[in-house]
Amino acid sequence: MARLLWIGALAGCASIQPGADRTPLDEPGAPGAIAVVVQAAAPKAAFATPGYPESLAGGALAGGLAGAWAGYGLAPLALLGGPATLAAAAAAMSAIFVGGVVIGVVGGTAAGASVVVPAHEVAAIKQVMDNAVAELRLPELTATAIVTDVERWSPYRAEIVADAGPVSPTDASYYRSLRERGYGAALDVRLVKVGFAGRGGSDPGIRLILSAEARLVDTATGAPTALRGLVYLSPPHDETGWTRDGGALMKAEIERAYRTLAERMVDSLVLRTEIFVGFDGPPRPYTCGVEPTRPKLEWEGVLFGVRHPATAVVQSLNPVLAWEGVPAPMAANDEKRFATIKAADIRYDLRVWKSVDDTPAEIVYQRDGLDRPEHRLETALEPGSTYFWSVRLRYRADGQPRASRWSAANVPKFIPPMPLDDALYYSRNEGETVKPVPCTLKDLTPCGCLDFIPRHNFFRFRTP
């Protein structure tokens, strides 16, 4: 039942930066270097999988409600046979309604049982995960990935500095000491939890979860200026897949998790990709970031089902991919900002993923720094195959590096396999303090609080 509470309606939005519009590095005279401070404590292990009582009860209740609704809608069909009396009509309609409830309860109970992960599989997955986490030394690898991405996507220099231990938000002296060492800002990172969410949500299977918190700190004052809670959710896999081949899939997903989170931290706190949350803005567009124009974006499920991007068909193994020059405005400040961008300051980054089990796997094609909103792939793709793709705009605003979100569809709504409000959040500046703001169900979209693109929201195409 808890998962049902995540379903919400698409609504209007307002543009809210995760923290201030400017970073400490934007200030005149600030050193152009970032200290990466990753706290050395390993993330806590967590495994969230439903047990039989919860699953059976939840499934029965959800199924019963669905069956009751179906029975209510079908009950008038009892009148088609022309019952002899009003009592007979009432009895027939009641039978249809009750039958719907019974069928719903039985089906819901079976569905609830299907999400249970056997205890021995849970133990095996936890053991493989513990071994992989101990072997990989995640805090160090995450810090290295952040340094790489800062220097790849921005003009700033980044260096790993010694862990200051359990740094509190009020411990300003440590960060001020970094200013004396030539750092204009500090990116303070903490890996929070690593584990799995059991079957449920919008996909079956079990997902790896790695959550983290990142703070951007002004070394001149020692005060944080922005905060972001981030979550990596892997594609779902069945329980045996996680332990097969000595945990090869486990290691690959954990590596992808820390690299992905490192890039998202740089995107959110250094390149200042905006998030759009709340109800007080204009209607939210169906797309996020720059919209594709070739292949033409079409939609499925408009009349019968949830609206989502259709799989386009391209005519070449080296297709031309094209997109709008700038994102569609989502708020008034968008129009003002993009109107002032010089063409010479605009670059595009393009990524293409191969589809494996209808999920984006590894990136098979990537080009960074394109100067035009179109590109013909220089490497031939495989015939008769489906691919996911996304592009983003990178630009300079007032001389500072900025970026749009990676392009995606804002529908369908993402339904997580477990509540994420305590792990996924952004921040607001209130006076001299920065306060975390939990993401709500209405904001779980690629241009909202999500720091990833769910597979159903990717743009996709199929080769001939």
pLDDT of residue 459: 97
> Packing angle between helix 138-153 and helix 119-136, nearest 10 degrees?
60
pLDDT of residue 167: 58
CA of 402: how far to CAs of 153, 187, 188, 289, 391, in Å? 9, 17, 20, 13, 14
Report the largest interatomic distance among the alpha carbons of the chain, rounded to a whole angstrom: 93
Using the Cα atoms of residue 28, residue 31, residue 32 and residue 36 in order, give the sign of their dihedral: negative
Six-digit token string for 345: 């300051």
Spatial neighbors of 18 by CB under 8 A, at least 6 apart, are 226, 227, 228, 268, 269, 272, 275, 426, 427
Spatial separation of the C-alpha atoms in residues 72 and 96, rounded to whole Å: 8
Domain boundaries of the chain, sorted by first residue: 1-16+286-422+441-464, 52-114
Write the pLDDT tens digit of every residue in 55-77. Answer: 434 444 444 454 444 444 554 55
With contact defined as beta carbons under 8 Å apart, do 276 and 16 qualify? yes
pLDDT of residue 191: 94
**pTM listed for this prediction:** 0.78
Give domain 1-16+286-422+441-464's CATH superfamily: Immunoglobulins (2.60.40.10)
**Strand 14-16 to strand 275-277: parallel, antiparallel, or no bridges (unpaired)?**
antiparallel
List residues bridging with 230 in a β-sheet.
212
HSE (side-chain half, CA atoms, 13 Å) at 191? 31
With contact defined as beta carbons under 8 Å apart, do 18 and 435 qualify? no
pLDDT of residue 388: 98
Spatial separation of the C-alpha atoms in residues 119 and 125, rounded to whole Å: 10
HSE (side-chain half, CA atoms, 13 Å) at 113? 5
Each residue's pLDDT expressed in tens, for the chain with a length of 464 residues? 222 222 222 233 444 444 346 789 888 888 999 999 988 888 888 766 544 334 434 444 444 454 444 444 554 555 555 555 556 555 555 655 455 544 544 454 444 444 455 666 677 777 777 777 778 889 999 999 999 999 999 999 999 997 665 555 557 888 999 999 999 999 999 999 998 876 554 456 788 899 999 999 999 999 899 999 999 988 888 878 888 888 888 888 999 999 999 999 999 999 988 777 754 444 556 888 899 999 999 998 766 567 889 999 999 999 999 999 888 765 556 666 666 777 778 999 999 999 988 889 889 999 999 999 999 999 999 999 999 999 999 998 878 899 999 999 988 888 887 777 788 998 888 877 888 888 888 888 888 888 889 989 999 999 99
Category of 301 on φ-ψ map: left (φ > 0), alpha (ψ -120 to 50) or beta: left
Category of 182 on φ-ψ map: left (φ > 0), alpha (ψ -120 to 50) or beta: left
**Strand 14-16 to strand 157-160: parallel, antiparallel, or no bridges (unpaired)?**
unpaired
Write the pLDDT tens digit of every residue in 243-261. Answer: 888 888 888 899 999 999 9
Six-digit token string for 15: 């543009």
Cβ count near 388 (within 10 Å): 25
Spatial separation of the C-alpha atoms in residues 400 and 126, rounded to whole Å: 44
Spatial separation of the C-alpha atoms in residues 339 and 122, rounded to whole Å: 54
